Copies of this chain bind each other. A is one copy, B any other.
C-alpha cells in the first residue's frame, strides 16, 4: 500500500521531467544532473534524484545522466513506447480536437476511431473513422481495445461509460464534468477542466482583493 502511494506520486512527476528534457534547446550539453534538472524545474534536489534513480540506472556520479538515455528510460517506464489503442465516444468539438491532435502518438496513444450518435461526417480530416454508436461493441471486441475516451455531454457520460465497460474497456479517460460509477478493476482518469478553472479563478479573486 505504501509503495503504491509512492509510485503514483513519482508517476505524476515523470512526465514533467520528460517534457523538460525533450524541450531542451538543440546543442545543449549531452549530460544532465539531477541537481540541474531540479533547479530548472524549481523542485527539491533529493526528490528528483530519487525519482530518476527509480526509472534509470544510467546516472553517473558528478556527471549525471546522458540526456538521450534518460529520455528513453522515462518513456519506457511510462509505457510511451508501447502503443495503446483507444476509441473516443462523442465526436463534438472537444472530441474532434482530441482526434486531430497529433501529439498523443508521442505518448503512445493511438485513437483508432470515434463514435457518435449522429456521425454525419464519416471521417475526420486526418482520415480517422467516425462510426455509429451501434458499432461500438463489435469494434472494441474486434480490435481488442482497452482504453476509452469520453467526450460526450455530462448527462450521457454514465451510460457511455457502462457501454464501454461492457465492451471490454479497462481504462477510461473522462472529459465529461461528471463523476462516473465504475467497478473496482476499472480505472477512471478525470480531465476535470472545471477544477482547473476554479483554482485559477480563486487566484484572480485573491489578486483583485489585494488591489483594493
Q: A residues bordering B, Cβ < 8 Å? A: 8, 11-12, 14-16, 18-20, 22-23, 40-42, 78-80, 82, 84, 93-94, 96-98, 100-101, 103-104, 107-109, 146-147, 154-155, 170-171, 173, 177-179, 181, 185, 187, 189, 191-205, 207
Contacts and interface: CB of A to CB of B under 8 A. Distances in A.
Contacts of A192: 15-16
Given A19-B154, A19-B177, A20-B179, 8 more contacts: A11-B198, A12-B199, A20-B178, A40-B179, A82-B205, A103-B177, A108-B197, A191-B193
Find the residue from A14, A15, A98, A191 having the highest chain B CB count within 10 A.
A15
Contact of A171 (B20, B154, B189, B200): B200
Interface residues of A: mostly helix, strand, loop or mixed? Answer: helix
13 contacts: A11-B195, A15-B195, A18-B194, A22-B154, A40-B179, A80-B198, A93-B101, A107-B193, A107-B194, A109-B197, A146-B204, A171-B207, A173-B200
A93 B125 CA distance: 11
A36 to B, nearest CB: 13
Given A19-B154, A201-B79, A12 B173 contact: no
Contact of A187 (B11, B178, B181, B203): B203
Give the copy number: 2
A179 to B, nearest CB: 5
Contact of A15 (B12, B18, B23, B194): B194
A171 B14 CA distance: 24
Nearest to A108: B201
A100 B101 CA distance: 16
A49 B70 CA distance: 46
Contacts of A155: 23
A198 B19 contact: no
A54 to B, nearest CB: 13
Contacts of A78: 198, 201-202
Given A23-B154, A204-B170, A205-B79, A107 B197 contact: yes
